[in-house]
């Protein structure tokens, strides 16, 4: 009985061992297959040789060159389209101009034919055409002669102290108008203005501004305008008030032909000479208020003043504008 049991136990143990061996072998086979598949699917890293690296660099350079050429080609294509559009527009303009020239030629030919027909019918028209052609030819010859003739020499006069500077001292004022030179006693008129303003400034208590006239003096009146300037208190407790300020003054001539002609003024014993010879006026600047009709007179007077040693300040005025000034105005500039 015990022998039979031992035999069965040995048979069972042998089968288990075979099962284990078979399982291990199966696992190993599966692992080998999986490792083979993994090796088959993974890329093979091959270290590039020197030739391969040069080929790869050459391919990269060729690719960059190809891309650059492609961009240039696209730019050239765009430029060609722009040029084609411009050419089409210019062609259209040329066609329009050609049509206009053709129409103008036809109209000119038609007008010429009508003029010729009228000249045949009316001899006066023919003579006028002939005279017109002759006059045109004469004018053309005169133009050619003028262009080819040598230019006449130009004499340039220069005077001392060409640089201008603001007048800071005394001034003598003259009006240069209609070829005449008139002395303006502005200092005396200003004194009259100050005296008159002192008596009438109280009227500004009730008025915002006041306009009055003084003179005449030397053929001129002076019209002035005073304005009231109100001052408010800038801080609590401050004092407010007002004061009078000169807004503007204007000279009004009493006649149109004031003063002396140029020849009379440059002659001996003239008012112009007497004013310049006054000792009180030595070193003063002469201000010439000049109108457009008397620029030639101004140039001759200016030359005479330079020769006499007087600085000159020019004050050109438009026609119809009176001589005037204000505290905000500019000073005369002498040369």
Domain ranges of the chain: 1-36, 114-147, 166-334
Q: What is the mean pLDDT of residues 232-239?
A: 66
Report pLDDT digits (tens) over 244-255: 889 999 999 999
Place of tokens 């890329």: 43
What pLDDT was estimated at residue 322? 93
Helix (H) or strand (E) holding 172: strand 171-177
CA-based angle 160:166:167, to the nearest 5?
85
pLDDT greater than 60 at residue 334: no
In angstroms, rounded to a whole number, what is the distance separating the alpha carbons of residues 332 and 289? 10
Least confident of 24-28, 134-138, 226-230, 233-237: 233-237
39: tokens are 């090796």
| This prediction's pTM | 0.49
111-126 burial code (b ≥16 CB/10 A, e <16):
eeeeeeeebeeeeeee
Three-state secondary-structure class, residue 321: coil
In angstroms, rounded to a whole number, what is the distance separating the alpha carbons of residues 172 and 288? 8
Contact 180, 174 (CB under 8 A): no
Contact 218, 184 (CB under 8 A): yes
What pLDDT was estimated at residue 193? 92
Q: What is the mean pLDDT of residues 2-8?
A: 50
Least confident of 215-229, 234-248, 272-286: 234-248
273: tokens are 């000479």
What pLDDT was estimated at residue 122? 63
Q: Which of 334, 270, 263 is nearest to 301 (CA)?
A: 263
Using 50, 70 and 90 to split pLDDT, how confident is the model at 1? very low
Place of tokens 């109280």: 202
Strand partners, 334: 165, 313
Position with higher pLDDT, 304 vs 11: 304
pLDDT greater than 50 at residue 5: no
Using 50, 70 and 90 to split pLDDT, how confident is the model at 161? very low
Q: What is the mean pLDDT of residues 117-136?
A: 71
Position with higher pLDDT, 77 vs 189: 189
pLDDT greater than 70 at residue 104: yes
Q: What is the mean pLDDT of residues 51-62?
A: 80
Three-state secondary-structure class, residue 98: helix
Burial status of residue 176 (CB atoms within 10 A of its CB: 0-12, 13-18, 19 or more)? buried
What pLDDT was estimated at residue 141? 78
What pLDDT was estimated at residue 153? 58
Q: What is the mean pLDDT of residues 162-184?
A: 79
In angstroms, rounded to a whole number, what is the distance separating the alpha carbons of residues 288 and 68? 76
């Amino acid at each position: 009985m015990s022998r039979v049991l031992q035999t069965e136990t040995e048979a069972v143990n042998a089968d288990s061992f075979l099962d284990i061996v078979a399982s291990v072998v199966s696992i190993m086979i599966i692992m080998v297959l999986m490792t083979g598949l993994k090796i088959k699917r993974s890329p093979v890293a091959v270290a590039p040789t020197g030739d391969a690296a040069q080929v790869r660099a050459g391919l990269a350079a060729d690719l960059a060159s190809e891309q650059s050429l492609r961009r240039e080609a696209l730019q050239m294509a765009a430029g060609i389209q722009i040029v084609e559009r411009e050419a089409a527009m210019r062609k259209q303009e040329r066609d329009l101009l050609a049509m206009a020239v053709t129409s103008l030629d036809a109209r000119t030919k038609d007008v010429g034919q009508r003029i010729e027909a009228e000249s045949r019918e009316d001899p006066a028209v023919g003579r006028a055409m002939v005279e017109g052609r002759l006059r045109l030819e004469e004018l053309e010859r005169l133009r050619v002669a003028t262009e080819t003739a040598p230019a006449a020499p130009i004499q340039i006069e220069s005077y001392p102290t060409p640089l201008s500077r603001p007048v800071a001292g005394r001034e003598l004022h003259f009006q240069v108008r209609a070829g005449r030179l008139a002395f303006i006693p502005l200092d005396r008129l200003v004194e009259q203005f100050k005296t008159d303003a002192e008596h009438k400034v109280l009227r500004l208590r009730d008025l915002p501004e006041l306009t009055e006239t003084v003179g005449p003096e030397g053929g001129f009146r002076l019209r002035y305008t005073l304005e009231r300037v109100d001052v408010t208190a800038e801080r609590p407790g401050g004092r407010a008030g007002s004061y009078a300020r000169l807004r503007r003054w204007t000279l009004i001539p009493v006649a149109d032909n004031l003063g002396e002609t140029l020849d009379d003024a440059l002659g001996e014993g003239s008012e112009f000479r007497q004013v310049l010879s006054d000792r009180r006026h030595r070193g003063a600047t002469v201000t010439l208020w000049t109108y457009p009709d008397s620029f030639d007179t101004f140039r001759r007077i200016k030359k005479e003043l330079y020769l006499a040693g007087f600085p000159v300040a020019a004050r050109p005025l438009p026609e119809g504008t009176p001589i005037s000034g204000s505290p905000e105005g500019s000073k005369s500039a002498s040369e």
